[in-house]
A and B are shown apart, each in its own frame.
Chain A
Amino acid sequence: MREFAYRRADDVPGAVALLGGDPDARYLGGGTNLVDLMKTGVERPARLVDVRRLPLDRIEPTDDGGLRIGATATNSDLAAHPEVRRRYPALAQAVLAGASGQLRNMATVGGNLLQRTRCGYFTDVTAPCNKRAPGSGCPAVSGEHRNHAVLGASDHCVAVHPSDMGVALAAFDAVVSYETADGPGELPLDGLYLPVGDTPHRETALPAGALVTGVTLPPAPVAARSRYRKVRERASYAFAIGSVAAALDVSNGVVREARLAFGAVASRPWRARTAERVLTGAPAAEEYFAAAADAELAAARPLPDNGYKVTLMRNLVVAVLSELAEEAAR
């Protein structure tokens, strides 16, 4: 590991000032991803600014019925919070589906959104990778890609975003707040992640040196009946090969509102707006759920070894929406 300087920030403006927009410096949250990447040499910062103890760990209801989540709240605290579990159960489920108890205690909400892909070529510094070493190529396209993207990828990068939390946040219209030397700003989670295109090394729309300070969830009554379902290669403690966050409001057998987002299929949590449009106003029945999934997945461009994800996601959508519809009918 490269030697580095370390400073602990006392407050948000202090943290932003300490980083000073230096491209060779990184904010340190829980460290569960960054420290690991520093050990393998993927990240080689000269300076760390520790933001883990900033007073940004609160999770509190907003006046309008939403929720404000501080960036240094841990995954554990988020998943255990009564209002998260009551108003956005799929978010609690998504967080609990990720990592292990130990890692959830360390990891922060801000860090979760900015964690890096676990693509084996990205984490192997001896391999080419357009995300880690722009212009060096993407071996995954013709190599090991069974866990890679089927939506929104490009010939330059087919890596997936590994977050479970982010999938539920995307479904519930989360807005990300950040601070810069020039003042605060906001981005919808949908707009936080940049399209892959030919610049996979540019991952977010955050200004240089910005510090994520929190996430706000607008009120979403539909989210009270929501679910996160994750498919992985073992029963626990593994990244998804496909996941769905879904919420459904059904009245008289008709879908009044639907929320749907996919995980592990794209470079970002994938909000399935096409499927949501098909669902809205349709009968709450399996054939319509399948049609909605098919409409979203029509844009899928699978590689030779990850076509199973298209079938998997279709089945997941149908299963989870059917369960939610059944609950609503009870």
Chain B
Amino acid sequence: MDPSTSSTVTLDINGEKHTLSVDHRTTLLDALRERLDLTGTKKGCDQGQCGACTVLVDGRRTVSCLQLAVAADEREITTVEGVARGGRLHPVQQAFLDLDGFQCGYCTPGQICSAVAVLEEHAAGWPSAVTDDVRPEAGPPPLTPEEIRERMSGNLCRCGAYPSIAEAVARAAAPARTEDEEAVA
């Protein structure tokens, strides 16, 4: 085996490919912040417990502090810098602004990336730990405040802005529901 302790990787970040040499010990979080100047993603606990470093890897929310950069080679990564589309904020970002879903803002990029994925997971019919009946026949659970809080529990907020964070996620989910209802009508 090659005894080398570094490798060249290509990270596809927010639609742009970056090729860089990384020490194998480098986490995706440190590669983003220290090597690529994408400092929107925040380092909180650096041990997978706070969610501040949440990014999407191949569309799935992931804590980038426990993801080795070398193991993310050729993965599609979306950071908070990349969730807006065509100059328009993502509905989750807009809802956080409209409803003050933060206080100091340090956990916010992670909260937003996580919430973006929560809406997709819910739309895909995934149950959660507070879903009464997980059997597929029971249908997808409504996105109640309790469901939102459980699904967002991997993102801590030391300011305790949880009430408005939960409201913002609910608000962001609402337009999608309205469109569905309109489609039915």
Contacts and interface: CB of A to CB of B under 8 A. Distances in A.
Interface of A: 1, 3-8, 18, 28, 31-32, 35-36, 39-40, 47-48, 50, 52, 74, 76, 79-80, 82, 85-86, 89, 92-93, 96-97, 99-103, 105-106, 235-237
Contact of B1 (A5, A74, A97): A5
Interface in B132-148: 134-137
Interface stretch (B36-44, B55-63, B90-98, B172-180): B55-63
B127 interface: yes
A255 B74 CA distance: 53
Contacts of B7: 6
B67 A236 contact: no
Given A6-B71, A39-B46, 10 more contacts: A7-B1, A47-B1, A76-B126, A79-B126, A80-B126, A101-B114, A101-B154, A103-B63, A103-B66, A235-B150
A63 to B, nearest CB: 21
A96 B129 contact: yes
B62 A80 contact: no
Contacts of B136: 82, 85-86
B54 interface: yes
B157 interface: no
6 contacts: A31-B67, A32-B48, A35-B67, A85-B134, A96-B131, A237-B153
Contacts of A96: 127-129, 131, 134
Contacts of B150: 235-236
Contacts of B154: 99-103, 237
Interface stretch (B20-28, B77-85, B163-171): B20-28
Contacts of B61: 101-102, 105
A47, A93, A100, A102 — which one has the most chain B CB atoms within 10 A of its CB?
A102
Given A92-B134, A102-B63, A52 B71 contact: yes
Given A4-B24, A79-B126, A102-B54, A85 B135 contact: yes
